[in-house]
Amino acid sequence: MQAGDIGDALSQLERGLYNKNNPAGYMLERVRRLIAAFESKLGEDAEIGMTVSAGSTIRLRSIGASDPDMLIFTGLDDHGAKACLLQHHSQLSLLLVAVPKIEDKPFRIGFV
């Protein structure tokens, strides 16, 4: 085994321990990739939203994590008011929807 191999193995071990101890951060990475893939298929007349309780929609503006266990989704509700959804990583269930843009240019989350 060479020094580079040991360094790679240690990096993978550290990453695995981080993911185990911070499941929200790990879930955030996965959700970001899935949202980016969904968003890449939207036309210029739509932006990304997510359906929350009772059929209301949040126009998604950002997502984040509060490790070790909470995901934070921020955006605008159906009336343009600021909205924030706090979700435990173990209860995550997202319904992503394409919603009509509300400005000249559709909002894009911007991560890949």
pLDDT digits (tens, 9 = 90+) for 9-57: 777 777 776 766 788 888 898 899 999 999 999 999 999 999 887 778 9
Mean pLDDT across the stretch 73-96? Answer: 91
> Do the beta carbons of residue 64 and residue 46 sit within 8 Å?
no
Residue 39 makes CB contacts below 8 A (sequence gap 6+) with: 48, 108, 109
Where do the structural domains in the chain lie, given as residue ranges? 3-100
**Statement: residue 111 has pLDDT above 80:** no
Q: What is the pTM of this model?
A: 0.76
More confident residue, 22 or 66: 66
Which range among 12-16, 21-25, 60-64, 95-99 shows the weakest confidence by mean pLDDT? 12-16
